[in-house]
Amino acid sequence: MSSPELQTTTAEKFDKKKDKSSKKKKTKPTPVTIAELGKNEGDNPHWAYKPPPGAILVDHSVDPGPFEWDTVRNNDDLELWLIRVPDSIKAQHLEGVEIDRPVSSRTARVGSLTRKNVVHDIWSAGDGETDFIGGEELRCLSCLLPRKKKKGKLSIAPKAIARHIVISARQAVPTVPRLQPIIHQNPPRPSYPKDVLKHQFVPYGARSQSGIFTTEESMDIEGVAPPDVISEKPRQEVPQVTEMESKEKKRKKEGESPKKSKKHKSKD
């Protein structure tokens, strides 16, 4: 059997649930108002587009001339060239400049421009490498042209950019200093290839100067054989007899008497 306290607590819980459900039914949804434009922007004058500092809005009322979108599209003889110039050169400085006809397949110098004693080279960036002139970013750019049918609004050009021209200042080349005359200078040492050289060890004193004779010495001394040809036996000196000694010897021979020969007895 249940106690009267438990019955009262359960009854109170059911009453609270009923009150919550009744409150939920009484709440009504609030109406949502939708603006005509759908963005709730209104007519605030400060919300209009303003260009960033340093930029100016394009005046679409200006006549584009030959750069009009339809003019470029309809004329097959027109090409779009993209030219990059330094800050020191303006568009008016390019008037009357003559350049060679560039070739799109290779990078080459097509002309030069002198401005304020500074020579600028005009390069045509081709399909190859352009590290030495710069202008790699030109290949990723596209051109926008105004169109009259759209009230001067800019549209992507109907033709691709045909040529990329880069104008850059010529690099200063250091001048070669004048060579001063050298008063004393040893003759250059002969150089021989290593594959021709023969490595040979000769001890000190092996090649003495006593046995070496030059051609001049051999021509000056005629009839004298070199030391190697001379025989080992020394020559005998022949005594020389003078006239006085020969006369004295004759006198001695005349004054001497001949000696008698001894007879030998024969044995019978």
Most confident of 31-45, 110-124, 177-191, 247-261: 110-124
Computed from CA positions of residues 132, 135, 140, 143, in that sequence, does the dihedral angle turn out positive or negative? negative
Q: What is the mean pLDDT of residues 30-56?
A: 69
Report the pLDDT value the prediction gives residue 253, as an integer from 0 to 100.
61
Q: How far apart are CA 188 and CA 203, in angstroms?
A: 27
* Confidence tier at 21 by pLDDT (50, 70, 90): low
Band of residue 229 on the pLDDT scale cut at 50, 70, 90: very low
* Angle 99-104-108 from CA coordinates, rounded to 5°: 50
> Is the pLDDT score of 2 beyond 50?
no
Q: How confident is the model at residue 34 (pLDDT cuts 50, 70, 90)?
A: low
Report the sign of the C-alpha dihedral through residues 149, 152, 157, 162, in that order. positive
Confidence of residue 90 (pLDDT cuts 50, 70, 90): confident
pLDDT confidence of residue 6: 45
Instruction: Report whether 109 contacts 133 (CB < 8 A).
Output: no
For residues 48-62, give the mean pLDDT: 83
What's the pLDDT band for 31 if we cut at 50, 70, 90? low
Tell which wins on pLDDT, 216 or 103.
103
pLDDT tens, residue by residue, 179-221: 777 777 788 888 888 888 887 788 888 776 655 555 555 555 5
Residue 129 pLDDT class (50, 70, 90 cuts): confident
Task: Report whether pLDDT(45) > 50.
Answer: yes
Is the CB of residue 122 less than 8 Å from the CB of residue 167?
yes
Residues belonging to the chain: 268
The band of 246, judged by pLDDT with boundaries at 50, 70 and 90, is low
d(CA 157, CA 86): 25
pLDDT-based confidence at residue 230 (cuts at 50, 70, 90):
very low
CA distance 53 to 128: 38
Q: What is the mean pLDDT of residues 156-178?
A: 83
pLDDT band at residue 268, thresholds of 50, 70 and 90?
Answer: very low
Q: By C-alpha distance, which of 138, 159, 154, 157 is closest to 82?
A: 138
Q: For the chain, what are the domain ranges?
A: 65-169
SS3 of the chain:
CCCHHHHHHHHHHHHHHHHHHHHHHHCCCCCCCCCCCCCCCCCCHHHCCCCCCCCCCCCCCCCCHHHCHHHHHHCCCCCEEEEECCCCCCHHHHCCCCCCCCCCCCCEEEEEEEECCEEEEEEECCCCCCCCCCCHHHHHCCCEEEEHHHCCEEEECCCCEEEEEEEEECCCCCCCCCCCCCCCCCCCCCCCCCCCCCCCCCCCCCCCCCCCCCHHHHHHCCCCCCCCCCCCCCCCCCCCCCHHHHHHHHHHHHHCCCCCCCCCCCCC
Residues 122, 113 contacting (CB under 8 angstroms): yes
* Beta partners for residue 154, in sequence order: 146
